[in-house]
Amino acid sequence: MTKFLPTKGVTFWPVGNGDSTTVSLNDIVKIQIDLHHTEASEDDDDECYPVVSHLVEELPKVDGIPYLSVFALTHPDKDHVKGFGKLLEDATIGELWLTPRVFHDEELSEEAEAFYNEAERRRKLAIKKNGVLAPGDRIRIFGYHTVLEKEKFRNFPEELLTLPGEVLTEVDGENYQGEFSAFVHSPFKTDVEEERNDSSLGLQITLGDETDCLKILIFGDLAHEGMRKLIDISKANDNESKLEWNILLAPHHCSKSVMYIKDENDKNVLQQEMMDDLGEYCLDTGYVVSSSKSIPKSNKQGDNPPHAIAKDRYEEIVTTGFLCTHSDESDSEPEPIVFEKSDEGICLNGELVALKSTKSLSDSIKEARSSGTPPTNAAGFGAK
């Protein structure tokens, strides 16, 4: 374990309204999901962390160069890919994870263009070498898009495509079954022409095996329609366990768009069913994390996220706590939020907050359905 990267766990970096999440499988294998590294963050007076600088310092070294096993991009918005060019210059990135939207979007920021160019280089190499790629050249595409039917993707290896409903245990050419899995929730085939946010990569990441694990939900900038769709599809396909979470990264920086929709009078209408579903799959130890600026006590009409009413709704369902990467409860400089999965349980910033448990919510639901009695709470983080 380094200062901010645990041996096994997840780190949420304070980067303002943006996402920068690092998943640690072990001391060597690290997955960076999205990035928001600004030039201003390199100034000591700025409250945002210079994520790339810290990664370069803390990542393992291969041939003297910092090595990041995977960079995963949920969608090519500026606040999810800013600083990628610098990261690519300063470190070796074993594998890129991305959605096909990157190859379809004609309006990319400068940083998203840097990502596109690297993805395009790897796409060509994957076809040329029939998918047999070395570290630093690997690529994996998640979801479906009509762009994959174009000539440029002819002969792209099928084994490098992962679709919604599938489970991935391979990271940078190695299989970590029993240590890591990523269930793919989105994007769906019907998402291809929707707004960029609605085509976000959605994952349930599991660190450990089903009897002793930490479960993390990451949905990029999905809003209510996309969230509703993936929950309904998971239920219909007996994948309720893939909705369970110890940590939910609040979509779109704690936006109310997850649980509110506008009526004909432009009024926010709460979709309580959404919160009921999210609450149902929150495990006995459950945190919602907002990767955002400090959340105000209230918002004006038209304010961008974070939204106070979204925080209020999350606090009503969460079993343990709501955390923001830029807390308004302290005058001190923000620090990364670090969850570690240890032999004893879950640690938050070095403090044990949950003991190990071996019973999942899905097990409790199945038992309850067979017995006709409601599930009961269990101590630990693997049950509700």
Mean pLDDT value of segment 270-277: 98
The answer to whether residue 307 is domain-embedded is yes
CA 246 to chain CA mean position, Å: 13
Please report the pLDDT score of residue 102 as a whole number: 87
State how far the alpha carbon of 351 is from the alpha carbons of 128, 338, 342, 348, in Å.
49, 10, 11, 5
Confidence of residue 374 (pLDDT cuts 50, 70, 90): very low
CA 215 to chain CA mean position, Å: 11
What residues contact residue 373 under an 8 Å CB cut-off, 6+ apart? none
Residue 44 to residue 30: CA distance in whole angstroms: 26
User: Tens digits of per-residue pLDDT, 223-234?
Assistant: 999 999 999 999
Per the structure, the complete domain to which residue 87 belongs is given by 9-371
Structural domain count, the chain: 1
The answer to whether residue 191 is domain-embedded is yes
User: Tens digits of per-residue pLDDT, 129-187?
Assistant: 999 999 999 999 998 777 778 888 899 999 999 999 999 999 999 999 999 999 999 99
Q: Would the pLDDT of 211 be above 50? A: yes
Confidence of residue 375 (pLDDT cuts 50, 70, 90): very low
What residues contact residue 191 under an 8 Å CB cut-off, 6+ apart? 143, 198, 199, 226
The answer to whether residue 378 is domain-embedded is no
CA 12 to chain CA mean position, Å: 10
CATH at residue 197: 3.60.15.10
The answer to whether residue 66 is domain-embedded is yes
The answer to whether residue 337 is domain-embedded is yes
The answer to whether residue 382 is domain-embedded is no
pTM of the model as a whole: 0.91
Query: Quick check: bond before 375 cis, omega within 30?
Result: no
Please report, rounded to a whole number, the percentage of residues in the chain having pLDDT higher than 70: 89
DSSP 333: P
Residue 362 to residue 382: CA distance in whole angstroms: 10
Residue 207 amino acid letter:
L
The answer to whether residue 384 is domain-embedded is no
The answer to whether residue 136 is domain-embedded is yes
Query: Quick check: bond before 306 cis, omega within 30?
Result: yes
- Among 307, 95, 317, 79, CA closest to 217: 317
Name the token pair of 90: 């300063």
Name the token pair of 167: 């489970």
Residue 53 amino acid letter:
S
